Amino acid sequence: MTSHPPTDRARLLRLAVLGLLAAAVAWLALGHLRLTLFAPFALDEFEYAHAGWRIARGDVIYRDFFEAHHPLLMQLAALLWLGLDDQPVHLGTLRFLMLPVLALAIAAACVINRRFCRGWSAVTAVVLLMIPTLSSMATQLRQDPLAAALFLAALAVLYGRRLAPAGRGLLAGTLLVATFWGTLKVVYYGLAFPAALLADLQAGRREERGGLLGSPAFFLLGTALGLVPIALYLSATGTWDDWYRWCIAFAFRHQEHYPGFPWQRNFGQLVRHSFWLLPAAAVGVAATVRRLAGRADAGRHPDLLLLASLPATFVSFAWQTAAYLYSLVPFTLVLGIFAARGLVAATDWSLATARRQRGGVFVAVALALLFAGELRRAGDGLRRLLVPDNSQQIRVLGRLGAMTDPEDAVFHPFGGQISRPAVHYFYFLEPATRLLEEERLRRELVPAMIEHRVTVYLHDRDLFPRLVPELQAYLLGHFLPYDETIWVWGRRYAAGPSAAVEGDFVARRDGRHFVWPPAAAADLLLDGRPAGGPIFDLAAGRHRVAYDGGLGEIFILWLPRDGRPFPPRPELLSR
């Protein structure tokens, strides 16, 4: 893709290739839109969506509810919640926040590659959209894609030669702080920036074109300007101590106690799904180093930061106790930038060789066929990410919205209540939290359930065994399944064909309750009085229950907000 005197044929060929690249971007973008709409929700998305809803309602992160992450994503989600009603299904709406984030990451990558690719930077967009592991994470409501996009934007600003050095430094510093407010991980994978600052300060660069960071003084000013609103927020909310306790001190304890696994597990997934990425990136790195070596301004070129970011982002991923796939996002983005450079460099070489010998033509054709084949594989990969889709999760969230009021506390161990109040400060019970706070959770969770008058519990059979024993016993003893996920406050009364039922029922709150089967209402006594029908009002507290109608078992349950009695499914209790 080297520049040569244009001819009509060359111009038409260029337009055709650009048209194909644009079509590929549009096709892949449509696939990512489908991912946003229909891919299954991850547990972390419930956490961030619920935290955003809490912030939108005026709760203060770290003080009023637990979080060990920096809150930028949740604050942005809160802005969206301000324009939405309190329906849990809006988790799907919040995902649309990630589309402009992905667009920012791709735009920044294209800017970084604009000069290197000489008008073919659209290749960068295609390459990034062809990586299924990146696609799956970048379309979920997560902090890592947001922070990585801001990090790339900070790098891209340094490539903007139309900006004065002061402007480049100012914007880069501000964007880097925004990245920090998105994730603490940038302290590791963003080390190229403080290294560049030290190099600029040591060299005392005052050239007209500036240093690695443009103007180091303005970079520091931009950093300060970014830190000011963060400091004001923590001061105004009085959460400096809480922020340090959970985001700094607890984060290191969390890393130490989290049940880990080797980084090779998820890195291998990236390699398996995009095997071409590493060799293409290796060619791109070699081509970048070669071009830098021939530049008079190599010592202040932003490609140095880009090169340093490749190992920094990888080490940031590999050093984690549990190196999840989302932590690969920054490395994958930087790797994709170099892979695009590698493809362009290889195509340049093959076209230049083709003018001298026929072998270059075969290389160019082989590259084109490989690219087309990988494009097809990427499309297949995007479709696989939709199996299964999120339709069942959407149905559950829709039922939850219909069955409860926005003020009804709902329990789920990982924030799955979305836009319903949680029952405890630790609303997201991930493994390290359960281990480090086990004594407090065993002491406080059940009383918190009682205090918040919880009548709906969202069950997950995989997560249930990880709950503290006291909570497991409470849930099994006081809730009955509506379906496999939604359990409702109620009690089962069993008796023989001729034996009467005598017992009690605790109404967790004032409100309507019902008996199942409805025919049992004719012989049901509550506090010595006839129930008066299958649906009846009960005041909060303990009530005497008597039944002698001859049915083998009856159930008394809290009636959901939609007013629809339902047959409980006690057989699900044993699953």
pLDDT in tens, 536-574: 999 999 999 999 887 889 999 999 999 999 999 999 987
Whole-angstrom CA distances from 152 to 105, 145, 303, 329 are 6, 10, 12, 11
CATH 2.60.120 residue ranges of the chain are 487-568
Contact between 418 and 90 (Cβ < 8 Å): yes
pLDDT of res. 222: 98
CA distance 367 to 70: 43
pLDDT of res. 354: 65
* Close Cβ partners of 511 (under 8 Å, ≥ 6 residues apart): 537, 538, 558, 559
Angle, helices 216-236/165-182, rounded to nearest 10 degrees: 30
Q: Which residues of the chain, if any, have pLDDT below 50? A: 2-3
Looking at residue 510, its amino acid is D
pLDDT of res. 496: 62
pLDDT in tens, 173-206: 999 999 999 999 999 999 999 999 999 998 875 5
Report CA dihedral (354, 355, 357, 361) to the nearest 10 degrees: 20
| Phi/psi-derived region of residue 510, left when phi > 0, alpha when psi is between -120 and 50, beta in every other case | beta
Q: What CATH architecture is 487-568?
A: Sandwich (2.60)
pLDDT of res. 359: 60
Write down the pTM of the prediction.
0.94
Six token digits for residue 567: 């047959």
pLDDT of res. 366: 77
pLDDT of res. 353: 73
